[in-house]
């Protein structure tokens, strides 16, 4: 079985929940901006990665060990 953290897939997700598989993070970011213009009724579009629910606790622990708190990252940038 492939480790989902070593080979992550990037997607663009629309406001209405549609996903488009992308080549990599740069492709997902570029596509999200383009899709906002091409399909404004489904905007905003976001570049995202999916995480297996069972792996969530391990991912949160790694983030904590790296000193990153998802709950405060955006607020700290303001």
pLDDT digits (tens, 9 = 90+) for 18-77: 999 999 999 999 999 999 999 999 999 999 988 777 777 887 787 777 776 655 554 455
Q: Distance (Å, rounded) from C-alpha 23 to C-alpha 12?
A: 11
Backbone angles phi, psi at 36, to 5 degrees: -60, -40
pLDDT at 1 (0 to 100): 42
The pTM of the whole model exceeds 0.85: no
Q: Which pair of structure tokens corresponds to residue 9?
A: 């897939």
Contact 51, 59 (CB under 8 A): yes
pLDDT at 70 (0 to 100): 53
Who's near 55: CB < 8 A, 6+ residues apart?
4, 5
pLDDT at 68 (0 to 100): 64
Q: What angle do CA 77, 66, 76 make, to 5 degrees?
A: 10
């Amino acid at each position: 079985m492939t480790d989902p953290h070593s080979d992550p897939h990037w997607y663009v997700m629309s406001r209405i929940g549609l996903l488009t598989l992308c080549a990599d993070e740069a492709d997902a970011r570029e596509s999200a901006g383009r899709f906002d213009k091409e399909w404004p009724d489904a905007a905003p579009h976001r570049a995202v990665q999916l995480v297996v629910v069972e792996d969530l606790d391990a991912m949160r622990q790694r983030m904590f060990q790296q000193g990153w708190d998802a709950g405060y990252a955006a607020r700290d940038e303001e």
